Amino acid sequence: MLSGGSINSPQLLQLSGIGSAEQLRDVGVEVVHDLPDVGRNLQDHYMVRSMYELDGLHSLNTDVRNPIRKMLMGIQYALTRRGPLTISAGQGFVFAKSRPELATPDIQLLLYPLSGDNPALALHDFPGVTVASTQLRPESRGDVFIKSADPAEHPRIRPNYLSADTDRQTMVAGMRLARDIAVRPAFARYVKREVAPGPDCTTDEDLLAHARAFGGTVYHPTGTCRMGPDDRAVVDPRLRVRGINGLRVADCSIMPAIVSGNTNAPAIMIGEKAAAMILEDSVR
């Protein structure tokens, strides 16, 4: 069973000689089985953050930058296992349609009680919140491929974000929806200013340029060991690698198309289903 995720699973297959024969030979790997689509079909959710400075309120920005508040958060968690240290970053979620004719939502908005140019490194020195917009069903496709036969060398990852026109239109629609919510009375009374994209971003072209410059991954890579009944699929509907006996892949890389939401629960489901199928096949 291979369960390395949508980056490492195709990498391990390719290092083992399972993948595109032409590309494997180019990097000095002996071909065991020619499966051209190993590493292809990479999909991911792309996110752009709209940030706002608050007026008259504090946010996690304030708490994290205040030594006393930070200490109290730690004490609260240590004594009660409650408080800000027990919550995820995203506190509110909205699923919406970019176009009314769609059957299901294609945009997810996430509300974060914090803001920062790079929240992983530092938060803003003013109270702020973030409304992040994500396209749920991207049409852009990328790929993952090893650069050499050295297993310690990172593979080449080409996500090709926003290469499809539908993706570009949907990301702009999501940013406009976030902005529309921010100017509604219930939200706007707490907003001092829009920090990003900022008042200078007015046209669709401006918003798209901002998305390209400041957007990023939601860490939902999928699809690089696609499951399917066709000959080009990497694994069959029982997750068995085509042409290789006794090897299955069980992670988000087997998804033919990315799910319309977070990938954690689907990843667990794939693992449970794989275990069930292995047990079924063992008694046949």
CA angle 173/116/169 to nearest 5° reads 15
Given CATH 3.30.560.10, say whether it is the number of domain 46-140+161-217: yes
58 counts as catalytic: no
> Does residue 152 carry a pLDDT above 70?
yes
Cα–Cα nearest to 177, from 252, 109, 259, 242? 109
What span, in angstroms and rounded, lies between the C-alpha atoms of 172 and 263? 23
Report the sign of the C-alpha dihedral through residues 238, 239, 240, 246, in that order.
negative
Long-range contacts of the stretch 77-80 (C-beta < 8 A, 24+): none
Q: Give per-residue burial for 240-260: e unless 16+ CB within 10 Å, then b.
A: bbbeeeebbbbbbbbbeebbe
Read off the pLDDT of each residue in 73-88 and give the average, rounded to a whole number. 90
> Does residue 19 carry a pLDDT above 70?
yes
Q: Which element (helix H / strand E) includes 132?
A: strand 128-135
> Does residue 283 carry a pLDDT above 70?
yes
- Phi, psi at 200, each rounded to 5°: -75, -15
Q: Are 44 and 164 in contact (CB under 8 A)?
A: no
Structural domain boundaries of the chain?
5-44+220-282, 46-140+161-217
Read off the pLDDT of each residue in 107-116 and give the average, rounded to a whole number. 94
Tens digits of per-residue pLDDT, 193-209? 999 999 999 999 999 99
Residue 196 three-state SS: strand
> Does residue 284 carry a pLDDT above 80?
no
> Does residue 96 carry a pLDDT above 80?
yes
- Phi, psi at 107, each rounded to 5°: -130, 140
Cα–Cα nearest to 170, from 159, 181, 162, 180? 162
What span, in angstroms and rounded, lies between the C-alpha atoms of 171 and 155? 28
What span, in angstroms and rounded, lies between the C-alpha atoms of 187 and 53? 12
CATH class of the domain comprising 5-44+220-282: alpha beta
Q: What is the pLDDT of residue 85?
A: 86
Read off the pLDDT of each residue in 169-186 and give the average, rounded to a whole number. 96
Q: What is the pLDDT of residue 244?
A: 96
Q: Among 45, 124, 210, 220, which one carries the catalytic annotation?
A: 220
